[in-house]
Structures are given as structure tokens and as C-alpha cells.
Structure 1
Amino acid sequence: MTDTTSGAVAARPDLLALTADTLAALANRGLVKRATKELDAGTVPALTTDPDTTVRARFGDGTTTALPPGKGLDDGECSCVAPGVCRHLIALVLAYQRRAEARTDGGAPVPVADWSPGSTDDAALAEAVGARPLAVARRTFERGYAAVVHRPSPDHPEPRVELPTCTVRFPVPGEIAYALTDAAASLRGEVVALAVWAFRAADAAGTDERSVPVQVGGRATAPSAAGPVLDAAVGLAGELLAEGVAHVGPVHGGALARAGAGLTAESLHWPAGALAELTDQLTAYADRNAHYRPELVAALVTELYARRRAATLPGVLGTLEAGDTPLRRVRLTSLGCRVHGTPQSLICEVYFAHPGAGTVLVLRKTWTAAEGKELTGHLLSTRRVLATPLSSLAAGNLVSESVRRTPSRALTVARGRLGTTTITPVGAAWTELPEPLLVRDLSALTAGWEGRAPRLIRPRIEAEAVHVVALSEVESVGYDPGEQRLEAVVRDASGTPALVTSGHRPECPGALYALADALERGATHVSGSVHRSGGGIRIDPIAVLTPAGVVVPDLAPGDGSTALTAAVHRPSDPLTAVLDEAISAMSAVPHSGLRHLNSPARSRIDEAATALSHTGLTRAATLLRAFLDALDNGAAPNEEGLAARCDAWLEAQLHLLVSSEVRSSQTEFVAASAPAPGRVPKVDQVVAGSADHGAARTLRALIAAPGELV
């Protein structure tokens, strides 16, 4: 053995690459702080290096530790009785780094290592994760799975992979053994192997993009076993379209629930999620609940058909993903909460940023008022969730060992294990979030959305658009009494303007006043859903960070009687207005049913078609006219005629929904004012502006006869 003072201090570059944050993730922050404090106090172990580069440390109390090469901290050796990664192993790493820093006079900044975990062969992978986890991962590989690969960049030097229910990071170049994941320890080896193979698939694709979605192993097509289950679910949606929500009974709701269970059993989580929402809508209508929305029913029916039509595309069905995944000890930062529903039944959604995974998770809870009582968001603020008042949870940091995450990024906490969950004030945690959770340049964020698949067939991710936006200025705050909407013009840290907009909701009467007050009191950050709309960027706010702390408007007191400064009314552009009206008119079909559609509903669709034509949106108008023609082909059609009506409605509905999304997401290719007839860009032209030609193919697959934009 040789002392490190006479050996090459860079013999173990893996130890030099371990940052304090990485060490905290591998163990916990308390151990890192304790080891650092002891070293600062002079309790420094004696270090030696073996010929095979195993680093050993001997402490003053006789404790000895060793870290062999090619192994992670979990495989380190220590003579103390502490289980797992102990403070002695942490101290060994920190002492080794300090010795190296002293010999190199501080050293130079380490450049970003442009490496790929996919370069690791299966033999090295088996040595790093174990043979049994590798065998389990191999079975998943044979079935096939989807992932998103993120290569190293100056902003994010750690390569990482987003798997359906967890994220895997590789903080040490060339060393798989140090991989970090938010999955539970029992799943670590399996998900690390899946992440390595995802990188291997991305490398084989030959693209140099920093973020690459991949389909790994298996086949890109839907499994044959899924066909009958999916067909049965779509068949039930067709029956609903024929009879209408207003005419089906509870038996149909039960059939939808059973079909949803069948989809879940086949791991077809995205159509299962749509079917679950559809079932909830039928229940809401039967209960005369204000949660019922005909436009949502129409969109969900369309989504089921669209997913079956595009089932051969990777990731459309969410196939072969775990129902949920237990996570290891995680630290989550609350981004506020959203309350919606009726005074008799309120749903609260608490949003949590997961910095280690770069994702937002959602914890959902429903409250029902006692008979004769009504609920508001403020009344819920004192209700307890995870043994903590909702107001504290919505503005705090959550550390838990009992969390599970679904493919849609919904969050659950195991019952009976609240003792393993702690909640502390959020403090300045928002300002320390990594990108893209924390956004400083909204234009760069929205530019990254180009070429995405339509929402109808994208993965059904909760809080997909939720971010924290750093603000440099709040230019104006005002209230539009006609729309009952608060609007504030803000600028992000890079100067990009955005519109913070929130409508009045009776269940949260004090929300708008609290939002206006927070924005006017020096708001530095706002959390919310970020969208492109009407040629600009809009933020639907969830919470606001001010110098005094986090403000959650939906939980604020007040009765809504406080006067607000008036704002100039902002009319919607003609394209958006006619599209919205057409979508609303077509939603009467699944509500009333193709068999029962009345004259007023037909007249409204006819008027919508006329408005589309007058605005220059002739393709959309033609599809609506084709649907009306199908309705007129016989007063009581046979099954063949009913199928023709259904197909005509679906073609028009698909075109409207996809076109509406293209209208908002591709604003640079569409004029803000009404174009002249015949001058509207075609779908192909709009999508050609994106580098992602796969999006163009997806649009063509969904819209049978692509013509004008709408």
C-alpha cells in the first residue's frame, strides 16, 4: 500500500466526482454534514491506496473503511456497526477529495463529461447491479418500454433517464455503480439496467439531440393481447356516443369501470386513465354535480378512438408500465395547491416538485361537505393531510419514505406510515430548483414544445405543464369584470413577457384578491401551468413566492367582495373563438347521443360550420357539414348508418381538437388576426416548421384527410 501523499491523487476520479449533493442522495444530508463537521474539526482519517486503487481510511477510534474500485458506496466496507452507507464512508470520500484539492492547489473546474451510460456492456452492468435485478430487467426489456434519455449538457452535466415511474441519474462519469434513482432500494438494480439500455437505444438511433424519447426492446406495436381489451373499451365509448350521457344508465357506468380495470390489468394506463375520467363524468351527471362538462366527455371519447387509431406508435397506450412504483426516501418541494369543485364536494390537488427527478408530482384528495353545509378553499386550509394542515403542506418541503408514484405522476403515501414523513417550511427551496422545474426563460421553454405529439395521444402526465417561473417584473395587475378574471402582465428573468391569468371560482372566493395582493407585493416567483395561447404565453397560477413567503391563493380567506383594479378586456382572436364554439357545439353529440340529437343542437353545429367557413377555416367547416349530412341520411338509421354518423363525428372532432392545439402551440405560423379565405396554412406546412417530422406523421395519422390548418 502507498500513502496518497506519494501516490497519484487522481487514481480514483470517481471519488473526486462525488459532489455533496450526490453524497447526500446516496446517504442523507445529515451524514454529509456530520462528516464535514468532523473533518473541519481536525478529525481526519489516515488514507492509503492499494495497488488496485482501493482507498482505505483508518480513524482515530480504530474504525477502518475501504472503497474498492468499480463499486458504489453501498458496496464499501466499514468496521462500524452502522447499516448501509455510514458517516465513515462519507468521511473517507471527503478526506480523499480534500487531499487531492490540496495537492492540486484547488484544481480547475471539471469540464462536462460528454459520456453515455449506454457504453457499459452487460457484463459490467451485471457486476454493478447484480445478476438477479438484471434478469428482472431483461424480462421488461423483452416486453418493451418507453423512456426519455437526457444527455449531459452544461446546465445538466449528469446524464439521466426518465422511465415511466422513476428517474435514474448517472452523476459519476463512467461509473454505473454510483447511479441514483428515486425508486425504492429493492428496485434500484432493475431500473438502473433499464436506464442503461435506454441510453444504448438512444445512441443507436444516431441523433445528437440532448433529449431523446426512445422505445426500448419489445415491439413498437401494441401487444396482441391488448387488442380485444382496447376494442371493448372503444366499443363502450361508441355506445355512449350513440345513446348519449343523458340516456345511458348506471349499468353503462359499471361496464366502463370494468373495461378500465381490464385496461389497467394490461398496463394500458393512458386509455385506462381516459376511461376512468369518462366514468367519473357519467357519475357526476347522474349526481347532478357541477363537475360534469360535456366538452370533456367529447374530448375523452375522441381520445379513446385516437389512441386506438395511433396504437402502433410508441408510448400511445402506455403499455407494459408498472401500475405504481415505491420511491426511496425523497425530498419534495410543494408548489402550492389547486382547489376546484362545488361547495358540496371539493377536490384539492397539491403539487410537489421532485428536484432529483426533474418532475412534478400531484397529491389529490377529495372532501365532501356535511348535509346542509358548504366548503370553501379557506375552510380546507385547516383540514389535515398526512397529519399536517393543508395550508402547511401546500407551502412546505415533504421528506418521506412512504411515497409511491404512478405512471401519470400521481402521488400516494402509504397508510400507517406517516411517521416516516416529515414536513418543513418551504423557505427558499423554489429558488434552488433545477431547470426545467425553475424557468428563467419562458421562450426557451415553449420552443422545446415544438413537434410534440397531439395531446390526444401523448402520455397522460399529471401537471405536465406546471413550472416555477422566476419573475423580473410585474408590469400591471387588473381585473376584467366582464370575464370575472384577474390578469397580470409579468416578465420572466430573461425579460420574456407573459400573462398571469386566473378566473373567479365560487369555491375560492378570496383567491383573486390574494393573488393580486401577492403580485403587487414584490412577487419573485410564480408557480403554475404554462401554456401558449393567443400568440403569447399564459400562466395559470397556483402559488406566488413573495419576500414574506409563499402565498396559496386558493386557500386564502375572503368573500370575494374586495375591489380590484380594473383591466382592459382582452378579446380572443377570431380563429380561437370559432374553434372553441365549434368544439362546444360538437360536444352536444355525446351528451344527447347520435340517436337523440335534437334540432337546436343540429342548428348550433350548422351555425358553427358557417362561422368556420366565414373565418377561412374551410376544412373544418367541410367536416362539420359532412357530419350533418350523415345525420340527415335516414331518420332511424341501421347499425351501418349509425357507424357512418359516428365516423363522421370523430373525423370532425379529431380535426377540431388537434387544430385547436396546433393553433395555440404553433402561433408563429398562424396570423393573430383572421386570415383571408384560402390563405390559412395547411397542417403539413405548420408542422414542417418543426424539426420533429414524427409529429407531422402523427397528425397525418390522426386526421384522415389533412387540408387547411382547420
Structure 2
Amino acid sequence: MTPMRADLLALTDDSLITLANRGILKRAVKENATAPPEISESADGTVEAVFADGTRTTLAAGVTLEASPCSCGSTAVCRHRVMAVLRYRATAESSSATAQFDAADAQESDAGSTGDVLAPSSAAPTWSPAEFSDDQLRELLGARAFAAARKAHRTGYRATVHRGTPQDPVPAVELSAVTVRFLVPGDLGYARADAARGVRPDAIALAVWAFQVADDLDPAAGVLEVTVGATADGSVAVTASGSVLAPLAELLNDGVAHAGPALPAVFSAALRTLDAASARWPHDALTDLLDQLAAHRDRSARHDPLHTATLITELVARHRASTRDWIPVLGTEEAAQTPLRHLRLTGLGARITGDSESRTVETYLAHPEARIVLTLPYTTVIAEGAEPPTPAALAARRTGAARLADLATGNVVTESAARSANRTVRLANSRVARTSVLPSAGDWSSLPPELLLTDLDAESARLTTLAPALIRPRVRAESLRAITVESISDIRYLPGEQRLEATVHAPTGSATITRTHTSATPGAIDALAHTLSGDAGLLRYIAGSLHRHHGRLILNPTAVVAGATVHVPCFATATHTIPAGTATSHRDPLAEAITTALALTSEVAHRGIRHLPPSWFTRAAESTTTLTRLGLRTAATALDDLRRTLTTTSVPAALDRWATTHLRLQLTADQL
């Protein structure tokens, strides 16, 4: 039999898992090894598989696997359909091997048996989903879903395009809360979104249009972030983002410390306006700002004046960018929540934060097919007068039907996940859509290169090309990655700062590991030092959030793989000894000067313009002089302009100048 069905041959094992699930594929492989079906192919390309029990599966040309009839009666992709594809692939491979042998034998005969035989190229054929037309999309999706996609296109949206590679030949597009994969070259019927069936039918069209933009911009780039569509329909969202400016100006005038009782209600009205306009990112930023205001009112340690000032600046910056026809900074294309279909996730550890009132556990789950990391948050409130839960007690808490410790270290298979626009994920408790967690031996080698790093120098260079965080999509665990460990060196403890530091060396490049002691995780530093020293076994991988600071790559770890065990420092108890010896951090005059200037702008937001003491203006002038002396002239000019503005200008103009200054200082700090 000479195989003619390129669509069936293109279905890899991962593609079959997407169409069915891993359990069905495993069963199909096992049964194919003992009782394979009889395969035949007609002249029109129809493949028929007949099984020993009489079951008959027909795979007609131009019909997807889901729509192909099977006499077993299953309406989903059953094991018979999967077995038929596997058997057809095996038959094709056997025929190909025979043809190659015959060709080689003929070549040797022609060359007098003296020539070398060239192996055929194993490179996968290159293709792009950009080739699909709007007519094809409309026919596949239907008029209603296509119209919804066109509306999203007019609004504008962001997407990350992943082209196929020899290791993973399936091209994919990551949208806001869903990932689309094109399983078969040239066959739109095999485009699949990981959303639950019927939830995001428009996603396929959005993914195709993203590929069209990517092919126009850079057809050779393996991974490319693009902005798609016009911004003609963004006026409502832009107006909504501007609704926060007046209360922000009032907040800056009075200060967080003197905010009146009516101000939160005004902000709440703006929050509802942003939600109605689907301006996700300003909505999330304003939610965080309201939380900071509540924390200050309640005298909670959760309040941070610098973070509060940065949130105010972010709201102003996003509105400014939106008025310049860059609507994706508002997140209007983001779905509030998207139910997902069958998912396979890998635990990459967790982080615990909190104060005397609550504890929050963020569990990080790698989603290999989407090439992203999802965050599963869990928050518990501490009753008044009660002791906060220990890390071990938090690790034993359940979300859905699984313990947090098991999720953070295991391999997760779920049909009950719902993903939010900011990449948080929720696991529902459902008897129908179950979640199972299998123990992990710490083999992260199957993670895609976007998530498992071997070249830290390249990652550091990538981070420098990103847009400022204040206008990027507000997604959780954006920078969380796993690193292949070559070695660990320079483990040291800084007692004055209660911080553990070390250096991780990847196959290429290195990063500084840093972990600061907190009361919420009293045993984290001890446990991390124990694993980094190699006492728990050979270090293989380490996961954590990566960022650049003072020209260095900094890693805040969430999990370490030593031997065959995944260790999560934040869940540990203090049973190990911190390494002996002390160290002092290097003094950086540039960083100190910028930190001082940021403290001054944060003080404006905290005290309020009306309540600034005369000493603030004196300190601002001194800081300006220091910045100028160190060569940071643009930052110095911005701070000096703010000092002059606060003595002469109206409140709305003061907000604009203050936000410009804080933004300038923040960007300078990020680039040091």
C-alpha cells in the first residue's frame, strides 16, 4: 500500500493526545502492539481499519478524525480511530523504508557499488497557517463566530506566534487566555484551541490573522510577539481608562495617608466602568490600588508606598499609550475567564506571601503545549487572635481535589481548569471533569525551550528587549522559568539583610539566586541552602522568577530538583543549618541615588501634595544634585521639574508631571 493521506501522517503523538487524551493514546499503542487492525486504502484516499472484534473505522479524505465514523458508536475520538492512525503511520513508515532500500540498492548498482548513499532529509516541511483565507475561516467557524473574531480584530489584540520546528512541527499561537495549535499542515479542520468545546470558536481566526501579521513582519523568526488589528473600536475603552484620572489627581493631592472616606467609592465607580469596557489591565491595576488603600486604612503590613506609587503611574501610563492607538495596553481583547479542555501541567513550585491577616499560596504550573506558566492562587484569612497556618499546613490545603504540595511538585492532568486573562487558573471540584496528580521524579527535560532555559545569556538579552512592565500585559508568572543546572557556586548568607545568595551556572551563562527570609516562610532559606549545597542529591533543575537588576540576571527560586525529588523551599520547616560565614553587599551609588529619588516621588503619593513638608523640597533638590553628579541627567531634570511643578501648578497638571517623573525614575532603575 502506497500511503496517500498526508493529514494522517502529520498527526504526531502529541496531536493525538490533543484530539483524544493521553490515556486513550497509551491504550491504543498497547493494543496495536498485540492486535493491530487490518488497514486498507482506496483510490480516493479513504482509509478503512477493521479490528479483530469486527469494529470498523472509516477515515475518509477531507474528514477530520472527530467526524470520522466508527462502528463502536463513540462520538468522540475513540481508541479505534487513534489505533487506525497509528497503524496507518506504521504502514507508511514500513513502505517508506522499503522504498528507500530499493532506491539505495539501485543507486549502488548504477554507481558500481562504490558511491555513498545519502540519507533523506528528516526536516519537517515548512508551512504557515497564514495561508488560510477569510472565506475558509468563515466556512469553518460560522457567521456568528467569524463576526466575533472580526470585532476583536477591529479592537486590536496581542498574540505570540510560535512557528513549527523539527522538534515540534506544530505551529501555535498564544492568545490572551487560550492557545491555538494547527495540527495538520494545510488543513484548517485540525486547528485546535485548548479552550473547552464551544467556548472560544473565534480563537482560530485570531490565530490565523496573527500568523499573517507575523509572516509580514519577520517570516524567519521562530517566536514573535505581534499586535494584530486596528484600534477603531477602542474609543469606549480609552474613555473608560481616562475615568480614573480625576480620582487619581485627587488622591495625589490629598495623599494615601489623608484620603477621604468617599474616594474609594469614586474609584469603585471607575472600576465598574473599566469592567464594562473590558479594559482588563487598568481594571486589575485599579483593583490592586484599592487593595493598597484598604491595607493602609487597616494598618496592614501589606501596604507598600512604592508599590502604590507604581500602580498610580501604571494607570496613567496605560491611558497615555491607549490614546496613541495602542489599545492592547488596556487588555480589551482579553476574555475574563476561559474554561479549558484536557490539560497536562507540570508543577514548578510555589511561593507563600502574607501578613498577620492572611496567607496566599501561588502554585506555578507549566503548560507545555501553550509554552507558558499558569498560576493557581489560594488565599486563606487568619482569624483575629489566631496563629497563622504553618507552611506545612498550607501545603496540605486543597484546591479542587488536590493538595497544594502535590500540585507544586507533580504532573497534573485536569479537565476542570478555567484560565483567566492574567494567566491564573482555577481547578473546579467536579465529579464529571476530574483532576488527577501524579508524583514527579523531576524530569523537566520535556518542557519546551521557552520554559526550560539552557542559555541564560540569551534570556538576559531577551529581557532587555521587552516593553516596560507598566504597559505590558498584566500576567502572573510572566518571567517564571526552569533552568538546567550545570553547577552551583558562591553560596553565601547576608545576615544584615537576612538573605541567601548563590550563583547558578547553566550550560551557557549564569544567574544570581536570591532568597530573603520572611515570617511566612521561616524554613525556606535553610531548605534552599541545603538543596543548593548538594546534600539532598545532585542538582538537575531549578525554577523561579527571572529579572534583570543592575546588569545581572536574578533568580527568585520556587522549586529545586535534586536527585529524583522536587523540593519547594516555601513549604519547608527550619530543620537545616544556614551556611557559616558572612558577606556584605556591594554598594552601588547609582542604585542608591535612584532609590532615594523613587522614595521621594512615592512620598508625594503617600503624603499628598497639600501635606508635603518643606524638607521634601530640600531633599528633592539634593537628590537632583546627586543624580546630576552621577551622570543621570535625564532623571535629574525630571525630578527637578517635578519639584518646581508642585509649588506652582494645578492638581491635574501635577498628576501628569508626577507620573512622568516616577515613570522616568522607574525605567532608569530597571535599566541599571
- Fold match by TM threshold 0.5: yes
How big is the shift at 1:336? 0.9
More displaced 10-residue stretch of structure 1: 604-613 or 545-554: 604-613
- Correspondent of 2:596 among 581, 590, 599: 581
How big is the shift at 1:458? 0.9
The answer to whether the aligner puts 1:197 opposite 2:197 as a matched pair is no
Q: Is the 8 A contact 1:477 1:567 kept in 2?
A: no
Q: TM-score, normalised by structure 1?
A: 0.87
- Correspondent of 2:287 among 257, 272, 276: 276
Residue in 2 that maps onto 1:85: 77
Q: Is the 8 A contact 2:41 2:47 kept in 1?
A: yes
Alpha carbons of 1:195 and 1:477: their partners in 2 closer, same or farther (altered >3 Å)? same
The answer to whether the aligner puts 1:371 opposite 2:380 as a matched pair is no
Q: Is the 8 A contact 2:549 2:670 kept in 1?
A: no
Q: Is the 8 A contact 1:266 1:320 kept in 2?
A: no
Equivalent residues in 2 for 1:57-96, closer than 5 Å = 57-96=49-88
How big is the shift at 1:37? 1.2
Residue in 1 that maps onto 2:113: none
More displaced 10-residue stretch of structure 1: 515-524 or 185-194: 185-194
Give the Cα–Cα distance (whole angstroms) in 1 for the partners of residues 351 and 400 of structure 2: 17
Q: Is the 8 A contact 2:66 2:75 kept in 1?
A: no
How big is the shift at 1:247? 0.9
The answer to whether the aligner puts 1:655 opposite 2:669 as a matched pair is no
Post-superposition CA distance 1:13-54 (Å, at most 9, x none): 12112111211121011111111111211x122222232212
Equivalent residues in 2 for 1:383-532, closer than 5 Å = 383-414=397-428, 416=430, 420-492=434-506, 494-521=507-534, 522-532=538-548
Letter in 2 for 1:584: A
Give the Cα–Cα distance (whole angstroms) in 1 for the partners of residues 564 and 89 of structure 2: 39
**SS of match in other structure, 2:328:** coil
How large is the RMSD of aligned CA atoms in angstroms? 2.2
Post-superposition CA distance 1:329-356 (Å, at most 9, x none): 1111111111011143111111111111
How big is the shift at 1:499? 0.9
- Correspondent of 1:184 among 187, 196, 207: 196
Residue in 2 that maps onto 1:671: none
Equivalent residues in 2 for 1:260-271, closer than 5 Å = 260-271=271-282
Letter in 1 for 2:661: A
Letter in 2 for 1:550: V
The answer to whether the aligner puts 1:247 opposite 2:258 as a matched pair is yes
Alpha carbons of 1:109 and 1:326: their partners in 2 closer, same or farther (altered >3 Å)? farther
- Correspondent of 1:48 among 36, 40, 51: 40
The answer to whether the aligner puts 1:598 opposite 2:590 as a matched pair is no
Equivalent residues in 2 for 1:31-430, closer than 5 Å = 31-41=24-34, 43-105=35-97, 110-130=122-142, 132-154=144-166, 156-187=168-199, 189-205=201-217, 208-217=220-229, 219-220=230-231, 223-311=234-322, 312-375=325-388, 376-414=390-428, 416=430, 420-430=434-444
**SS of match in other structure, 2:566:** strand
Give the Cα–Cα distance (whole angstroms) in 2 for the partners of residues 99 and 509 of structure 1: 59
**SS of match in other structure, 1:448:** helix
Give the Cα–Cα distance (whole angstroms) in 2 for the partners of residues 306 and 657 of structure 1: 12
Letter in 2 for 1:471: V
Q: TM-score, normalised by structure 2?
A: 0.91
Give the Cα–Cα distance (whole angstroms) in 2 for the partners of residues 458 and 499 of structure 1: 25
**SS of match in other structure, 2:611:** coil
Alpha carbons of 1:216 and 1:482: their partners in 2 closer, same or farther (altered >3 Å)? same
More displaced 10-residue stretch of structure 1: 577-586 or 446-455: 446-455
Give the Cα–Cα distance (whole angstroms) in 2 for the partners of residues 249 and 513 of structure 1: 45
How big is the shift at 1:146? 2.5
Post-superposition CA distance 1:517-566 (Å, at most 9, x none): 1111232111101112222211111111111411111111128x944333
- Correspondent of 2:7 among 14, 27, 39: 14
How many residues align? The count is 646
More displaced 10-residue stretch of structure 1: 97-106 or 134-143: 134-143
How big is the shift at 1:230? 1.5
Q: Is the 8 A contact 1:586 1:605 kept in 2?
A: no
Give the Cα–Cα distance (whole angstroms) in 1 for the partners of residues 347 and 479 of structure 2: 15
- Correspondent of 2:23 among 18, 26, 30: 30
**SS of match in other structure, 1:158:** coil
Q: Is the 8 A contact 1:146 1:314 kept in 2?
A: no
Give the Cα–Cα distance (whole angstroms) in 2 for the partners of residues 430 and 284 of structure 1: 39
Q: Which runs of 5+ in 1 are unaligned?
A: 634-639, 664-710
Alpha carbons of 1:199 and 1:490: their partners in 2 closer, same or farther (altered >3 Å)? same
Give the Cα–Cα distance (whole angstroms) in 2 for the partners of residues 641 and 204 of structure 1: 47
Residue in 2 that maps onto 1:536: 552
Give the Cα–Cα distance (whole angstroms) in 2 for the partners of residues 520 and 418 of structure 1: 45
Percent same amino acid among aligned pairs?
40
How big is the shift at 1:57? 1.2
More displaced 10-residue stretch of structure 1: 105-114 or 392-401: 105-114
Q: Is the 8 A contact 1:481 1:566 kept in 2?
A: no
Give the Cα–Cα distance (whole angstroms) in 2 for the partners of residues 642 and 16 of structure 1: 67
How big is the shift at 1:465? 0.5
Residue in 1 that maps onto 2:114: none
Alpha carbons of 1:20 and 1:109: their partners in 2 closer, same or farther (altered >3 Å)? farther
- Correspondent of 1:641 among 636, 647, 650: 650
Alpha carbons of 1:339 and 1:63: their partners in 2 closer, same or farther (altered >3 Å)? same
More displaced 10-residue stretch of structure 1: 137-146 or 274-283: 137-146
Q: Is the 8 A contact 2:401 2:429 kept in 1?
A: no
Residue in 2 that maps onto 1:552: 568
Letter in 2 for 1:26: L
Post-superposition CA distance 1:123-149 (Å, at most 9, x none): 433454555543443343344332222
Letter in 2 for 1:615: L
